[in-house]
Each structure stands twice: as structure tokens, then as C-alpha cells.
Amino acid sequence: MGLPRDFLDEVETELREAQRELVQNRERTEALEELRRVALAVAAQLDRPITVFDVIRSTRDWIERERRVSLVRQLRVRKRRLGQSCVE
């Protein structure tokens, strides 16, 4: 992307970027809420502290497992961007 032609272009460019980030944050928040719901249910079922593997393996349905893996990846996207380590 080149330099903005004028201040209005700069504002519009930043506004589009902010809107894009807002959509990404909303999607991530929804994924985290769902992951929390699943993790709470698994923790209650196992009656002990849980791991990511417990959450993924607590269903025999392969489609649900893949969905949970996807939720975990969304959880960890920001950690990777910030340079924090995480185990998958």
C-alpha cells in the first residue's frame, strides 16, 4: 500500500483496518466463549483440573474433535502473535 493521498485517505484506511480487527476480535471472543463452555463441562465431568487434551479427547465424534482443535488454535493465535510460547 502506498502513502495516503491526503488526511481523509489516511483516516479511511485506518478505519477499515480497525473494522477488520473488530470483526476478528468478535470471532475470537465467540470462539473463546464456546471453548470455555466446553472446558467447564469437561472439568465438571472429570472432576479434576483438565488439559487441552482432555477437552479434545472428551468426545468420540471426530467432527466435534476437529471443531475443538480449531477453537484451541483460535485461543492460541494471539499468544503466538505476541511471541509467547504455547504447546499444541
pLDDT tens sequence across 8-54: 999 999 999 999 999 988 988 998 899 999 999 999 999 999 999 99
State how far the Cα of 66 lies from the Cα of 53, in Å rounded to an integer.
12
Domain boundaries, the chain: 7-80
Q: Taking 60 as the threshold, does the pLDDT of residue 74 lie above it?
A: yes
Long-range contacts of 56-65 (CB under 8 A, 24+ apart): none
Residues 14, 72: Cα–Cα separation, whole Å: 30
